């Protein structure tokens, strides 16, 4: 449910197609094992250790799994916010209070998403988060993230910038999705760190 704006270049589209095809080829056991490894590594991040509120998302299909991490954060007493996709591709937010607080929603012809079923807190709720977990398909050595092409998280990042909010920006990926170069546009913003099953990589230039 992430992405870049409609003016998505052909380089981004080609890279996205190749990486998503590789994801779809993963066996369910591989996806499940990676989710446990991702959660264990992400929980060592100081940005999450000290967070009171984290904006995240529920992984779907072969995306790097997030549910184990969401439950571990809740167990620590962290307030976890999850997105609700709006008709214009913007995101509202709701609190995650456990698997029973999720509902499956199909938006038109897109994939089915798991969204919080409780009170909607408004698009601005994300500006109070200490860390934001961004969905992605790839990240490069500069910390530039490739999303799924829908533009929802470009709006989130723009909203954070307008509010003067500087939460830690984090992305969970498979090891092969850390690539040499992601085609970037002027509005693209780097993440602070990527977590993969084999380790954590930081991008200090993202804070300059």
Residue 151 labeled ligand binder: yes
**How many angstroms separate the CA atoms of 205 and 143, rounded?**
8
Assess if residue 188 is contained within a domain: yes
For 76-101, write each residue's pLDDT tens digit: 999 999 999 999 999 999 999 998 99
Residue 57 labeled ligand binder: no
Quote the pTM value: 0.90
Residue 13 labeled ligand binder: yes
Residue 75: CB partners within 8 Å, gap ≥ 6? none
For 145-154, write each residue's pLDDT tens digit: 999 888 899 9
Domain count for the chain: 1
Assess if residue 54 is contained within a domain: yes
Residue 33 labeled ligand binder: no
Q: Is the pLDDT of residue 189 over 60?
A: yes
**Segments forming the whole domain that contains residue 132:** 10-207
Cβ atoms within 10 A of the Cβ of 26, count?
A: 15
Least confident of 46-55, 110-119, 165-174: 110-119
DSSP 8-state assignment for residue 25: T
**How many angstroms separate the CA atoms of 69 and 180, rounded?**
27
Residue 145 labeled ligand binder: yes
What CATH number does the domain containing 202 carry? 3.40.50.10420
């Amino acid at each position: 449910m992430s992405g870049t704006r409609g003016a998505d270049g052909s380089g981004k589209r080609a890279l996205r197609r190749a990486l998503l095809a590789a994801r779809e080829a993963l066996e369910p056991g591989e996806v499940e094992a990676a989710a446990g490894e991702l959660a264990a590594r992400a929980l060592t991040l100081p940005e999450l250790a000290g967070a009171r509120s984290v904006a995240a998302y529920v992984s779907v299909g072969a995306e790097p799994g997030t549910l184990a991490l969401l439950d571990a954060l809740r167990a620590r007493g962290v307030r976890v916010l999850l997105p609700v996709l709006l008709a214009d591709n913007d995101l509202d937010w709701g609190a995650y209070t456990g698997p029973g607080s999720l509902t499956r929603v199909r938006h038109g012809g897109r994939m089915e998403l798991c969204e919080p079923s409780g009170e909607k807190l408004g698009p601005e709720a994300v500006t109070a988060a200490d860390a934001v977990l961004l969905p992605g398909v790839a990240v490069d050595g500069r910390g530039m993230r490739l999303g799924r092409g829908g533009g929802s998280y470009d709006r989130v990042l723009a909203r954070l910038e307008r509010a003067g909010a500087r939460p830690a920006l984090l992305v969970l990926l498979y090891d092969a999705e850390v690539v040499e170069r992601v085609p970037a546009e002027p509005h693209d913003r780097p993440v602070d760190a990527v977590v993969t099953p084999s380790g954590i990589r930081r991008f200090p230039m993202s804070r300059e």
